[in-house]
Structure 1
C-alpha cells in the first residue's frame, strides 16, 4: 500500500499537493495518497464562512500564482533514470489543466478577465477556483475538525493519528496548514473587543460604528480590515503594531523573485534572511492598501505591543509596551472599539498535540516547542528534520527555505518538495514502468477520539 499524507485543512496548499499527486499518479509515479481533514469546506478561509474575510476583498497575490506556479517542476523521481528527459516538462504541462487561466476558460470568464485588465479576483472567486481544482483532481476530503493529534505506534513504523469526533485518520506523514482560528481575541467575551471573525460578521451586518477604534496588527489581515473600516461610521482609527511605522511591502521584480524562486536562499545568512522577510512579508502592508491609507486622514499609528487589556468606564484600555533606548516603557490608551487583527498564529496546532506527540517533537528538537526552534529545524522537504513520522510545516518554512512557501507564491514548488519526501523509512518513492497507479483509500480507524 502507498503511504498516506494527511493534511489538516483543505486550503490552497492542500489543493496544490492533491492536484500534483493526481497528475503524478496519472504519469505512473508512486506518490502518497493525499487526504485532507477539513472542518468547514475546501478553501473555506477565503469565504465569509471561514471567518478570515468577507469574501469581497481582493487577492493580494497575482492569481497566475496558482496551484502549479511557477511551473518549473523538479520532482526527485523524474530527475533520475533513463526516462527523466522531458518528464518534468510533462508534469508542468499536466498541471496547466489546473491553472487559473484554465479555470476561467472552463467557466466562460477568460475573455472578460483579459478585457478588464486582469484584475485581482475577490477572495470568494479565488475560493471558487480552488474548489474547481479540488473537484477536477478528485481530492479526498474528510469532513471533521481535528481535536487531537497523536502518534500511533501499533504498526511497524510510527504514524500520525488525527482524531476527530467520529474517527481517527492514520497517516505516514502530516502537513499542517491554515492560519489558525479567527475567533481568538485579547479580551474574549467583551462586545467592545472583536476577533477577526466577529469583525467580518459585524461588517457584513453594517454594525460597525464607534468614535475611537483601534486595530491591532500590522500585516495583511489588519490591512484588509482597515480597507473595510473606511466604509463605516468611525471617527479615528489607530493601528497598533510593534514596527516603528506602517511599512509598505516590497513588490518589485527583485522582491517578487525571492518568493517565486528560492534558489540561493539557503546561501544567505540568517540575519540576511530575517531582514528580507521583514522588508517583504511580515508586518507590512501591500502598496494598494498603503495608497488607500494615504487618502484617509482618520488613520494614525501607535508603536508597541499590547501587554494588557481591560474594560473600564465603557471603554477598553490598552496598555502598550514599547522598547525605547533599551528601556521598556508602558503607556495606556482608551478606545471605544478594539479589533484584534494580529493575524495568523503559526503555532495554532500545538494545543492539539497529545503528550506522546509533544514528547516526540521536543525530543527531536532538543527542547520545548517554540516558533524559533521549529523554524530553524525545517529541512528542504519543508518537514522537521530528524522527526519520524514526517511533520510538514510550510507555514514556518520561510526562514530556512524561502519566503514563498508559507503563502501562495510558489505552490508548485511546495508540492514538489512535500510529495518528493520519503514518508516511511526504507520505503522511497519509485516510478512504475507504465500504467496508472491503483487507487487506494487512506487507512481510517473508526474509533472515538480520546
Structure 2
C-alpha cells in the first residue's frame, strides 16, 4: 500500500524550484515516489530574471553557461540501476531541448553559443515549468509557522489569500531588491530602482557615482552604467582590490562536482569561496572595467551615509594595521549594489518556528551557525520539519548549490531527503520552552 505523497513547498518559482519540480515530475513518470512540489511565488515563474523583478533589466547576459540548465550535471543518484533513464528524461527539459522546440537551436550554434539574456533564460525556465505543469500558488509569503496535522509537525506558509501546508520547505531567491543605505533619498538608488531606470531607458547623468559592492550583482550594474553619462565611477568594497572570478577548468569543477568539498577544512573552503564566488567579478566584466578609465576602487565598508550640501557623504570604515580607520567621501549619486541579505527569510518565521530552528540547531540563530548547520540534503541539520536552505549551503556542501552551477545535483539532494521526522521536534521544542518558562 502506497503512503500519501509528502508535500514540498518552495518559496519562489525560480531556477531551483523549476529544477526540483522537473525532477520530481520525471520520478513520478517512472513510477518512483516523489513529493508533490508546490511553488509559492508573488509574481510569476522566473520573475527575478525579468525587468519587473528588480534584479535586472532582462537585457544583460547570463553569467553561467546555459548548458548548466535544470538537469546539469546529469549524474542522478536517486534511483539505483535507473539513474541513466532519469538523466535521459531530464534532457527533455534541457536548454538545447528548449531551443529545438522553439526553432532557435541552429541560430544559437551558428552564433557561437552565446550566453542568453536574462529575459531569454526566464523564457526557458517558464517553458520547463509549463511543460511539467508546475503548480504555483500566487502570493507573497507573509508568515511561516509550524502546525500539527494528525500528530505530524508541518510547515505552514501564509499568504494574504491562502495557507500552504508542507512536510518540507525550500527557501530560494535573494529576497527583496529595494533596500539601500539611505532609503527615500533621490540621490541613492537601490538595486530595484537602478534596474527600473535601465529598463525604462532613462539615462543617468551624474559627475561622481559610487557603486557599493564587489560581487556579481554590482558587476552587472557597472556593466550597464558604462552606457550612461557619468564622469567617474567609484566601486566601494571591503576587499583590497576588485578580484576576478576563477573560471578555469579546476575552479569550475568545484561547482559541478563537489565530491571532495567536505574533505577540505573550513578555512580552505572559505578561501575557495572567496576566490571563485563571493565578492568577485566575472572575467567578462573585468575586461570591460579595464577598458574604461572612469572606474576607480575604494576599499572599505559603508558605516554611515548622510545627505549634505547636495551630495551623499559616505563614511567608509577600513582596518589598517589592526586599527579601524574612517574616511568620508562625497558623491553625486550612490547605487547600493551590495547584493541580497542571505537571511532575508528569517523575519517570516513566527516565534514558534524560530524556536524550532534554535532548539534544532542547539544555539541562537545566526548566519554563521545556519551555514555550518546545512547537511548533505541542503537542509538544516537537526530541524524537523525539514527546512532546505540551498542559498546558505556553499560552505558545507559546495559553491555550486547556492547558484545555477549544479541544479540537477541540487534537485537530487533535496528530493533524496527523508521528509519524515523520526521525532516531532517541534513538539519537543515547545515542551522545552514550557519547562524553561516555569
Instruction: Please report the TM-score for the alignment, with normalisation by the length of structure 1.
Output: 0.92
Does the alignment pair 1:321 with 2:324? Answer: no
Q: Quote how far apart the aligned CAs of 1:426 are.
A: 5.6
Residue 382 of structure 2: aligned partner: 386
Q: Report the Cα distance in structure 2 between the residues aligned to 1:242 and 1:297, rounded to whole angstroms.
A: 21
Residue 406 of structure 1: aligned partner: 402
Instruction: Please report the TM-score for the alignment, with normalisation by the length of structure 2.
Output: 0.95
Per-residue displacement from partner, 1:177-217 (whole Å, max 9, x unpaired)? 00110011111111111000000112233241111000000
**Structure 1 stretch displaced more, 366-375 or 223-232:** 366-375
Q: Quote how far apart the aligned CAs of 1:117 are.
A: 0.3
Does the alignment pair 1:66 with 2:62? Answer: no
Residue 183 of structure 2: aligned partner: 188
Does the alignment pair 1:50 with 2:50? Answer: no
Does the alignment pair 1:113 with 2:116? Answer: no
Residue 370 of structure 2: aligned partner: 374
Q: 1:22-421, aligned counterparts within 5 Å?
A: 22-75=25-78, 78-79=79-80, 85=81, 87-205=82-200, 206-421=202-417
Identify which of 13, 20, 23 aligns with 1:20: 23
Q: Quote how far apart the aligned CAs of 1:71 are.
A: 0.3
Residue 14 of structure 2: aligned partner: 11
Unaligned runs of 5+ in 2: 424-438
Structure 1 residue ranges, 4+ long, deviating more than 6 angstroms after superposition: none
Q: Quote how far apart the aligned CAs of 1:423 are.
A: 0.7
- Indicate if the aligned counterparts of 2:205 and 2:230 stay in contact, CA closer than 8 A: yes
Unaligned runs of 5+ in 1: 80-84, 428-450
Q: Quote how far apart the aligned CAs of 1:286 are.
A: 0.2
Is the partner of 1:21 in helix, strand or coil? helix
- Indicate if the aligned counterparts of 2:51 and 2:199 stay in contact, CA closer than 8 A: no
Q: Report the Cα distance in structure 1 between the residues aligned to 2:369 and 2:343, rounded to whole angstroms.
A: 11
Q: Report the Cα distance in structure 1 between the residues aligned to 2:95 and 2:183, rounded to whole angstroms.
A: 39
Is the partner of 1:273 in helix, strand or coil? helix
Q: Report the Cα distance in structure 2 between the residues aligned to 1:308 and 1:367, rounded to whole angstroms.
A: 31
Q: Quote how far apart the aligned CAs of 1:167 are.
A: 1.0
- Indicate if the aligned counterparts of 2:235 and 2:298 stay in contact, CA closer than 8 A: yes
Q: Report the Cα distance in structure 1 between the residues aligned to 2:340 and 2:421, rounded to whole angstroms.
A: 33
Per-residue displacement from partner, 1:367-423 (whole Å, max 9, x unpaired)? 222111000000000000010000000000000000000000000000001001011
Q: Report the Cα distance in structure 1 between the residues aligned to 2:68 and 2:138, rounded to whole angstroms.
A: 27
Q: Quote how far apart the aligned CAs of 1:365 are.
A: 1.8
Q: Report the Cα distance in structure 2 between the residues aligned to 1:117 and 1:392, rounded to whole angstroms.
A: 37
Per-residue displacement from partner, 1:209-246 (whole Å, max 9, x unpaired)? 11100000000100000001100000000000000000
- Evaluate the alpha carbon distance shift between residue 102 and residue 326 of structure 1 in structure 2; reply closer, same or farther with a 3 A threshold: same
Is the partner of 1:95 in helix, strand or coil? helix
Q: Report the Cα distance in structure 1 between the residues aligned to 2:138 and 2:422, rounded to whole angstroms.
A: 32
Per-residue displacement from partner, 1:110-136 (whole Å, max 9, x unpaired)? 000000000000000000000000001
Per-residue displacement from partner, 1:99-119 (whole Å, max 9, x unpaired)? 000000000000000000000
Is the partner of 1:35 in helix, strand or coil? strand
Cα RMSD of the aligned pairs, angstroms, is 0.9
Q: Quote how far apart the aligned CAs of 1:424 are.
A: 1.6
